Amino acid sequence: MSEKGMFSEVYEVLFGDSWKMWIGAIILSFFSICLFIIISPWGASGGVLNWGDNVIKPLVNETATEITKNRYAMLNIMIVIGALSSALMAKQFAVRIPPLGELVKGLIGGVLIGVGAIIGSSCTLGGFYSGWPAMSVGAFIFTIGLVIGTFVAVLYLMWEADKYPGISAGATKTFLGAANWQPIAGVIMFIVGLGFLFLFPTGPADILEGSMVMMGFTFFGLLIGFVLQRSRFCIVRALREPFMTGETSAAKAVMVGILFGLFGFVTIKLFGVFFPLSFTGTGTTGYAQSMFVFGNVWISGILGGIIFGIGMTIAGGCVVGSLWRAGEGQVKLWFSIIGMVIAMPLTNSFKTQFLEWTSGKANITDAIFLPDIFSDLLDGNLLFSYLGAVLFVLVALAIWYVIIKWNEKSGKLSRM
């Protein structure tokens, strides 16, 4: 086979068709584990909050952490670049401008996502895809809110389509689509993305946002954006489609990713990262154990999840879904990101007052690490406490699977 033929064959494998979503989910979970080994798992909302701080705070003479000094802010930028490079290489990039009603829904959805992410201290990553493997009790609470919010939004969209179909009526305008120059532009964009690594000179640095950490998040962000676009990974679809069409492939792909991430996260948390594990009958302490275990149990988790779920369903993408779709030219998701950038810092400025109103104190609850619950039940036995937590997550995944498969056959929960 000629070199040209070999190149064409490799190109066809990588860019001919979209990858299976479950394959993307496994790769993305592996990248998240790698990020956790560096310092912390894959997250998204904190980075967008930093973007918003850099927009809003200077307007009131306040100082925000520079984007190049916030690992999740850089990770998100690189997700957009990675998705853009992938879309160009596959000739799938196009500037797509939907009808005005859809742009408005993108903006409103983004605002709701931003409000929900701050109230619930989570997004679909920290409060679900990474939160479940992190064994955070708050993640399961937040997920309940996500499901409720998604269901409510699906009911609204069905009502809107029936009563006010003109809101989303009209053709989508497309520019710069499927041109022969795109693959070369995609390669150039990917190289530009790699060039961002040189923003962070190697050398001694602090543990949280040091140069090597920033380089790692920048590099993996580029790869994550690439894989997101190629596999069309979408947590919104996983939660929305059972309520709309009954389709389960996205949900099963997300389950596979959570399952893969679970065992990586458990290994890291069990043996500790940076700080030695200290496990007693009263609970666990240490950097790794507390990672992505947020204090979003009960009111803040449920309410934040509901608002977030409504927003992501209306917008058509969560935080990370909006990022990679924006990279491939979806203008509606550009508006969603604008909504998040505005809403997150403004909501964050009132978060303490909200928590005081709902609970009478600054923190609505302590963060609860799932093995701590089993530790109390099992007299502090380390191995069995983790085993109990893992079994809990597996049972939760099994229940989810049984419900969506039942609905796929019966259609009892589907609105279409």
- From first to last of its 416 residues, the chain has per-residue pLDDT tens of 555 566 677 777 777 788 999 999 999 999 999 999 988 999 999 999 999 999 999 998 899 999 999 999 999 999 999 999 999 999 999 999 999 999 999 999 999 999 999 999 889 999 999 999 999 999 999 999 999 999 999 999 999 999 999 998 889 999 988 788 999 999 999 999 999 999 887 655 444 457 888 999 999 999 999 999 999 999 999 999 999 999 999 999 999 999 999 999 999 998 875 443 333 333 444 667 888 898 888 888 999 999 999 999 999 999 999 999 999 999 999 999 999 999 999 999 887 666 666 554 444 456 889 999 988 787 778 888 999 999 999 999 999 999 999 999 998 888 66
The DSSP bridge partners found for residue 369 are: 136
CA dist 329 and 93 (Å) reads 6
Q: How far apart are CA 253 and CA 250, in angstroms?
A: 5
> Of 120, 38, 149, whose CA–CA distance to 367 is shortest?
120
Alpha-carbon distances of 151 from 197, 296, 408, rounded to whole Å: 41, 21, 16
> Which segments of 73-180 are extended strands (E)?
95-97, 173-175
Evaluate if pTM is beyond 0.75.
yes
Question: What's the helix, strand, coil split of the chain in %, to 5?
Answer: 70, 5, 25
CA distance 355 to 90: 46
Token pair of 114, please?
């931003």
H-helix segments, 272-381: 287-290, 299-315, 319-327, 331-348, 351-359, 370-377
